Amino acid sequence: MTLNGYSSNTPVPEGLSEALEAVLAVTGATAAVIRLCDLHNHTEHCEIAVGLSSDQLAFERNRSNCGVCAEAIQSDQVKSSADGCELLRLCQNDFFIPDHRPLAHTLAAPLNFRGRPIGVLTLFFDHHPSRTGWWRRLLTPLGQLIGLSFENIRLEEMRSRLWLMRSKQLLAAELHDGLAQRLTFARMQLRLALQEASDGTQAYHARLHTLEELLAAAHREVRELIRCFTTETPHTDNYDWRTVVKRFAEENPNIQVTIEADEPPTSRDAFVAEQLYFIVQEALNNIRKHARAHRVTLSWRTNTMPHTLTIQDDGVGLSPSSVSHSDPPFGLQLMRKRAEAIGAELQIDSPATGGTIVRVVLKDPAHEL
């Protein structure tokens, strides 16, 4: 038997209590209980009850399984019993449940979603209901509708968890792309400054000035992250990857940087522009840290379809493991995820002649810049 996973604190669909009251009026039942299945321990737990006394309700909430209920779930059929329910038997004795309403018979209808059992609707009667009552034919479709309503809530909870997970991933990406990169470069500058400190040269003081600027930029980014997470509407910048290239050229005067563009690289889609901004930033950070390059060329081609953004350097290139899809470095993983988010393909090539070529190919016409 395959069960959906429902916890004991699953929210109850809105209006379900009123619906159960209507079911009692139509069927002549005294009380109704809905129990859901728990995937982890294969038990049932009471989610909502109508018409039971306080003692009867307390018993229902504490018990895990019931013969007629389990039988209905396992067979996926409506089951009827006058003695297969533990609550019915206990209600015959005031010692076990002092405050109780007379119960003589029970009907259990399975709740399911697309053929998968997820729980049971149990109706309690103070008499033996007719076996030919017209309303019996409604119990199966009613169980399907109730199952659908609970499944919709479960899916909504899953979407919320996925949204939270995605938010955490984006936060990790923002920290990696911005703050972490600046702090890494600041540490590199500090090590160089310490090496030059004994000389007291002008290069030493220039290095300290660069380090101060990097830490100031990192501080600004931390404050911006705090502001984004403490305001209702996150701040959005007009992301232009050319600003990243300009900053890279200023911070690395020993590297010749060239931009070749068929037209100004602007975007009508802020989300696309933002992802390209961070892809370019990550590519340039990798060049600065690892490539030992002398020349970097960024080309933006829009005269042909699809549009392509290329970042090429003449450095030492990447290892085969870095280029492979199986186990790429974290930075390259983020670049791929950003490209996929805008319907693009990230292509990374490290020719035998040296250097690295990173291409972002925008395949989705809706995301063309």
- Kindly report which listed range (90-104, 167-181, 280-294) carries the lowest average pLDDT score: 90-104
CB atoms near residue 234 (< 10 Å): 9
* Reported pTM: 0.43
How many Cα neighbours within 13 Å face the side chain of 109? 20
Query: pLDDT confidence of 266, banded at 50, 70, 90?
Result: low
Segment 292-323, tens digit of pLDDT? 999 999 999 887 788 899 999 999 988 776 66
Q: Are 177 and 282 in contact (CB under 8 A)?
A: yes
188/225 Cα distance (integer angstroms): 24
Query: pLDDT confidence of 188, banded at 50, 70, 90?
Result: confident
Residue 306, preceding peptide bond in cis (omega within 30° of 0): yes
What domains can you pick out in the chain, each with its CATH number?
A: 16-159 (3.30.450.40), 239-369 (3.30.565.10)
Token code pair at residue 117: 């059992």
Tell whether the model's pLDDT for residue 201 goes beyond 50: yes
- Kindly report which listed range (87-101, 297-311, 341-355) carries the lowest average pLDDT score: 87-101
**SS3 (DSSP) at 329:** coil
CB atoms near residue 346 (< 10 Å): 17
Tell whether the model's pLDDT for residue 264 goes beyond 80: no
Q: What does the DSSP 8-state code read for residue 289?
A: I
Tell whether the model's pLDDT for residue 211 goes beyond 60: yes
Q: Are 72 and 110 in contact (CB under 8 A)?
A: yes
Per-residue pLDDT, 92: 57
Per-residue pLDDT, 303: 77
Crossing angle of helices 241-251/270-286, nearest 10°?
20
In angstroms, what CA-CA distances link 78 with 20, 72, 110, 126, 141? 17, 6, 7, 19, 11
Smallest CA-to-CA distance from 110 within 25, 21, 16, 1 is with 1
Tell whether the model's pLDDT for residue 9 goes beyond 70: no
CB atoms near residue 96 (< 10 Å): 14
Tell whether the model's pLDDT for residue 62 goes beyond 70: no
Per-residue pLDDT, 204: 73
Sign of CA dihedral 12, 14, 17, 21: negative
Bigger pLDDT: 328 or 48? Answer: 48
Read off the amino acid at residue 31: A
Find the mean pLDDT for residues 172-188: 73
Q: What share of the chain is helix, strand, coil (3-state, %, to 5)?
A: 50, 20, 35
Bigger pLDDT: 368 or 262? Answer: 262
CB atoms near residue 237 (< 10 Å): 11
Per-residue pLDDT, 268: 58
Query: pLDDT confidence of 257, banded at 50, 70, 90?
Result: very high
Per-residue pLDDT, 356: 95
286/60 Cα distance (integer angstroms): 62
Segment 114-166, tens digit of pLDDT? 878 888 888 888 888 887 778 888 888 888 888 888 888 878 778 777 767 76
Query: pLDDT confidence of 89, banded at 50, 70, 90?
Result: low
Smallest CA-to-CA distance from 5 within 137, 115, 149, 119 is with 119
Bigger pLDDT: 223 or 35? Answer: 35
71/81 Cα distance (integer angstroms): 11
CB atoms near residue 355 (< 10 Å): 20
Pairing relationship of beta strands 31-37 and 116-125 according to DSSP bridges: antiparallel
Bigger pLDDT: 187 or 39? Answer: 187
Segment 267-294, tens digit of pLDDT? 557 778 888 988 998 899 889 888 899 9
Per-residue pLDDT, 311: 97
Q: What's the mean pLDDT when you consider all of the chain?
A: 76
Q: In the chain, where does DSSP find H-type helix? A: 16-27, 54-62, 67-75, 86-90, 139-174, 181-196, 202-229, 241-251, 270-286, 320-323, 330-341
Bigger pLDDT: 157 or 228? Answer: 157
Q: Are 214 and 221 in contact (CB under 8 A)?
A: no
Per-residue pLDDT, 315: 94
Q: Are 310 and 358 in contact (CB under 8 A)?
A: yes
Find the mean pLDDT for residues 335-358: 90
Per-residue pLDDT, 52: 80
